[in-house]
């Protein structure tokens, strides 16, 4: 059995192989039909890892295996297309509207508060939601991820999911690979108006040493052309592939800390793709990860009396105690010890409004959402 997902295909997939022996009366035949629901749980039988439905089944007429393939609810968003003309709607309103039209249940939908004009023609529901949040990202510098949680479509800030273990060569990394590429580089963008007249140019000077990789951008109503053009830059892509001992919390979109001297990978990473395989009682996982600078710009909190004003990027002293996998979680994700940490995301008004990432793994393993007053 295997399950996993990736940024390029966000609908998570589960593949299950079961013994198929139609001529053996001692082997019970399973009657699993297309569109039947399927669930995957942790060993405790309570923690849900996957919820989806059967999309494919393949069986041999001779003794062998029958293979079932299932996807989560995002499969519908990838296989259904629509045309819309949105004006004055936020990304979150667009996401709820298109999901409502397709009767796709929604859960937590990240708020941006940024109204936009968006025209889409014959685009998948996933592409529509993705474009809406991309437009918001160009303005607020916050990355978002679309995923399914317990049968509902959710949109979360990248980094809101936490892989609560350290991946290290001396403990759980089996093998690793490193790749650098400029195949998708964009370091110069020429800006044009709607009539094809030149309206400006932006370039990423630090990457011009690789040569000029140019694209064009046509001005859009309601968008700052310079900001939007700069958001099209693509630098050197550095990809690390890790084969590790399985840990179910390591999923696409999660953050993790990696230490691997063979590839030189050390520090905070995002997981861009994950595949978990269980065979003969052994669980392993393959992860594609990238080192990234967080996109969040410092955001000031409102002053309240004599309270200290914290912002994204501040280094603080975590006092020790609970941290959580999301800003609204009701169950603790662990109780790391005290130590220095960085504020990476602020979600004011939530139960656990600050996201901290350890600055020193040897003193504290805090990497998650914490309560106000849990640090100084």
236-275 pLDDT per residue, tens? 988 889 999 998 888 888 877 787 777 777 777 888 899 9
Tokens linked to 200: 């400006």
Q: Which pLDDT score is estimated for 296?
A: 37
Q: Which pLDDT score is estimated for 304?
A: 42
Domain 76-157 adopts which CATH fold? Phage tail protein beta-alpha-beta fold (3.55.50)
Q: Which pLDDT score is estimated for 93?
A: 96
Rounded CA-CA distance 88/222 in Å is: 10
Rounded CA-CA distance 370/353 in Å is: 7
**291 closest CA partner among 343, 239, 341, 358:** 239
**270 closest CA partner among 247, 248, 293:** 293
Query: How many other C-beta atoms are found inside a 10 Å radius of the C-beta of residue 303?
Result: 9
Q: Which pLDDT score is estimated for 63?
A: 58
Domain 162-180+237-291 adopts which CATH fold? Elongation Factor Tu (Ef-tu); domain 3 (2.40.30)
Are 16 and 67 a contacting pair, CB within 8 Å?
A: yes
Tokens linked to 124: 């998948």
Are 154 and 104 a contacting pair, CB within 8 Å?
A: no
Q: Which pLDDT score is estimated for 192?
A: 96
pTM of the model: 0.69
According to DSSP, the residues that pair with 369 across neighbouring strands are 324, 355
Query: Low-confidence residues of the chain, pLDDT below 50?
Result: 294-305
Alpha carbon distances (Å) from 166 to 118, 245, 254, 256, 315: 41, 12, 12, 7, 21
Q: Which pLDDT score is estimated for 281?
A: 86
């Amino acid at each position: 059995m295997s399950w996993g997902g990736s940024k390029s295909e966000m609908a998570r997939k589960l593949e299950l192989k079961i013994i198929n022996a139609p001529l053996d009366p001692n082997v019970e035949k399973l009657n699993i039909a297309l569109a039947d629901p399927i669930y995957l749980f942790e060993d405790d039988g309570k923690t849900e890892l996957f919820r989806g439905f059967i999309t494919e089944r393949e069986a041999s007429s001779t003794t062998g295996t029958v293979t079932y393939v299932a996807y989560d609810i995002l499969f519908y968003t990838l296989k259904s297309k629509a045309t819309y003309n949105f004006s004055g709607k936020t990304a979150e309103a667009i996401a709820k509207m298109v999901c409502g039209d397709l009767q796709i249940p929604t859960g937590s939908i990240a708020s941006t508060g940024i109204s936009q004009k968006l025209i889409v023609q014959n685009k998948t529901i996933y592409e529509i939601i993705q474009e809406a949040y991309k437009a918001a990202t160009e303005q607020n510098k916050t990355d978002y991820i679309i995923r399914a949680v317990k049968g509902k479509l959710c949109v979360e800030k990248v980094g809101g999911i936490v892989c609560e273990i350290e991946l290290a060569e001396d403990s759980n990394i089996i093998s690793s690979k490193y790749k650098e590429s400029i195949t998708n580089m964009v370091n110069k963008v020429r800006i044009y108006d709607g009539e094809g007249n030149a309206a400006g140019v932006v370039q990423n000077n630090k990457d011009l040493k690789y040569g000029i990789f140019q694209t064009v951008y046509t001005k859009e109503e309601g968008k700052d052309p310079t900001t939007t053009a700069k958001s099209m830059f693509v630098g050197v892509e550095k990809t690390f592939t890790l084969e590790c001992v399985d840990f179910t919390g390591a999923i696409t979109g999660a953050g993790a800390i990696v230490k691997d001297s063979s590839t030189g990978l050390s520090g905070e990473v995002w997981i861009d793709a994950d595949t978990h395989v269980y065979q003969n009682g052994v669980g392993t996982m393959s992860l594609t990860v990238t080192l990234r600078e967080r996109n969040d710009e410092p955001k000031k909190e409102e002053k309240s009396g004599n309270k200290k004003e914290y912002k994204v990027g501040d280094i603080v002293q975590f006092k020790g105690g609970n941290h959580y996998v999301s800003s609204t979680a009701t169950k603790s994700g662990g109780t790391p010890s005290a130590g220095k940490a960085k504020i990476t995301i602020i979600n004011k008004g939530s139960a656990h409004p600050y996201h901290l990432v350890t600055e020193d793994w040897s003193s504290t393993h805090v990497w998650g959402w914490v309560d106000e007053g849990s640090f100084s």
